[in-house]
Amino acid sequence: MSIKTTLGLATVTALSLALGVAEVAHAAPASPGLWSELPQTSLPPAPKTAAPARILGGERVEGVTLTSPANMGPEGMVVLSETPPKGKEAAHKRNPFGEGFADTCFTRGEPQGMNRDFTWTDGSDARMHLMRSMGVMPVRSEKLVERDGGATLSVTDMWIDAVTLGARAIGKRDVTLKQVGSGPGDIKLYMMREASEASVLVVFPKSQKFIPWQLMGEKSDGTIVHSSGCRHLRVSLAAEKGRGESVVVRAPSVLGSEPVDGAGEKERGFPERQRVRFRTLLVSASTSWLGKDPEPVVSFSVGWEGRERSVERVVGLGEE
């Protein structure tokens, strides 16, 4: 399936579950010195050591669950996801692919070079599908926690064994994020910085119950970054002297909904319907550090991509 088709379907799928709260906000202009104001962190690189031969099946990492879907058979795929809330374990086991946004995103490490070093891949998934044949591999989980107007990214690196379903933590770090902007539909932009990189997080509202199946961003060097099923997409931009980097993220924004007058449908027992208004935002962020800049310049902006559209949905469908 082409990316274009995926996006189209994703939007439709997403909107069938949409329940949005329209809110007007705006993005602030780039401000000199923003780089210095960004929380600084240092996330460890992907492991430089060879993967352990095996992780015992009983080993666990808090907050993540490895499930072997019953219909996949003993040699089939396993699913890595955030641990389901209490009372939902059985449902999760039946359908680990789940629905709705997840707060946690997973990124896999891939072996690179001659020394068995790993590097983190560009994409991230709320539910990571792993083949058993992949054995033991490093995985990073990033859980977004929004609280009291601020946000934290809880980053845990771990080894995952797709054969035994064991997981062993390598390290954990909680990173404070700075909100730098927002857009209609309560879409927020957070940022943090590492040594020579800025991290941009485009975050969807939790209340939206709205899954853009794939959040996609295109970096200025042509790299496509994506996150599937997650509430956020994190993109790293280089902040090195003499150059710059940017990303544009396509983010469908739900602007609100209004009841559809069904001409007595409710009385006749038909389900309640509503019309959901949405419009796609292009969220962009850039880092650059040119000759006259005392420090890297961080900027961002939000703009509409196209016209507003709307879809009808049945109230309650797909919501728990």
Partner 1 sequence: MRKHLVVGAVVAVGVLAAACGGSPKASVQTGGVGTAAAPAGGACKVRSIATPIDGPQTGSSVALVRLGARKVALVADEDARSIIAVDVDKNVELARTRLAGAPSQLVVTKDGRVVTLLRDVSKVVVLEAETDSGALAARCDAKAPADPVGVALGPDEKTALVTGGFGHTMRAYDAATLAPRFEVDLAREPRAVVVSDDGRTAYVSHAVGSTVTAVDLDARQVRAMNLHGQDVQEASVASRFQKHLSQLKAQKPTPEVRAQIESIEAMIKMRGAKDAAKERRGQSCQGFALAKSVRPLGRVLAPAVFVDPGDLENRPEGYGDDHTPTETPAIAVIDESTGRPVEESLTVSRQRHFKQVDPRDHAGECLLPRAAAVDPTSGSLLVTCFGIDAVVAYDAASITPERTERKRWQTGAGPTGVAVDVAGRRAVVWSQFDRTVSTVSLETVAPVDEKKNPDKAPQKLSLAPLPAGEKLPAEYALGRILFHAAGDGRIAADGRACASCHPDGRDDGITWATPEGPRRSIMLAGRVAPSAPYSWNGDNPDLHTHIGHTFDRLGGAGLRSVELDSLITYVTKMPAPPAFEADSAKVARGAKIFASKEAGCATCHSGGALTDGASHDVQSKAKADKGKSFNTPSLHLVGGTGPYFHDGRYKSLRELLRKSDGTMGKTSHLSEADMDALETYLKTL
Task: Output 199 or 287, the one with its CB closest to partner 1.
Answer: 287
Please name which of 186, 82, 210, 222 lies closest in space to residue 141, comparing C-alpha atoms: 82
CB of 274 to partner 1, least distance (A): 15
Task: Output 161 or 197, the one with its CB closest to partner 1.
Answer: 197
CB of 294 to partner 1, least distance (A): 9
317 near partner 1, rule: CB under 8 A: no
Task: Output 308 or 319, the one with its CB closest to partner 1.
Answer: 308
44 near partner 1, rule: CB under 8 A: no
Task: Output 269 or 306, the one with its CB closest to partner 1.
Answer: 306
CB of 21 to partner 1, least distance (A): 11
Contact yes or no for 194/45 (Cβ under 8 A) = no
113 near partner 1, rule: CB under 8 A: yes
243 near partner 1, rule: CB under 8 A: yes
Residue choice 30, 134, 163, 260 for contact with partner 1 (CB under 8 A) = 30
Using CB under 8 A as the binding criterion, the count of chain residues that bind partner 1 stands at 62
Residue choice 78, 80, 167, 302 for contact with partner 1 (CB under 8 A) = 302
Residue choice 1, 53, 90, 114 for contact with partner 1 (CB under 8 A) = 114
Q: Supply the DSSP string of the chain, one letter for each residue.
A: --HHHHHHHHHHHHHHT---------PPPP-TTHHHHSPB--PPPSP-SPPPS---TT---TTEEEE--GGG-TTSEEEEEEPPPTT-HHHHHH-TT--S-BSEEEEEEEEETTTTEEEE-S-EESSEEEEGGG-EEEEEEEEEEEETTEEEEEEEEEEEETTT--EEEEEEEEEEEEEEEEETTTEEEEEEEETTEEEEEEE--GGG----SEEEEEETTS-EEEEESBSEEEEEEE--TT-EEEEEEEEEEEEEEEE---SSTTTTTPPPEEEEEEEEEEEEEEEE--TT-SS-EEEEEEEE-S--EEEEEETTTT--
Residue choice 87, 149, 242, 269 for contact with partner 1 (CB under 8 A) = 242
Task: Output 129 or 275, the one with its CB closest to partner 1.
Answer: 275
- β-pair type (128-131, 117-120): unpaired
**Rounded distance between C-alpha atoms, residue 135 and residue 165, angstroms:** 10
CB of 315 to partner 1, least distance (A): 21
222 near partner 1, rule: CB under 8 A: yes
256 near partner 1, rule: CB under 8 A: yes
Stretch that binds partner 1, among 126-134, 227-235, 263-271, 288-296 (CB under 8 A): 288-296
Residue choice 85, 268, 306, 320 for contact with partner 1 (CB under 8 A) = 306
Site for partner 1 in 147-206 (CB under 8 A): 183-184
**Rounded distance between C-alpha atoms, residue 71 and residue 64, angstroms:** 21
**Rounded distance between C-alpha atoms, residue 162 and residue 98, angstroms:** 19
Residue choice 150, 259, 303, 316 for contact with partner 1 (CB under 8 A) = 303
**Rounded distance between C-alpha atoms, residue 267 and residue 276, angstroms:** 22
Task: Output 194 or 305, the one with its CB closest to partner 1.
Answer: 305
Instruction: Summarize as ranges the residues that interact with partner 1 (CB under 8 A).
Output: 2-4, 7-8, 11, 22, 24, 26-27, 29-32, 112-115, 117, 119, 183-184, 216, 218, 220-224, 242-246, 248, 250, 255-256, 277, 280-282, 284, 286-288, 290-293, 297, 299-309
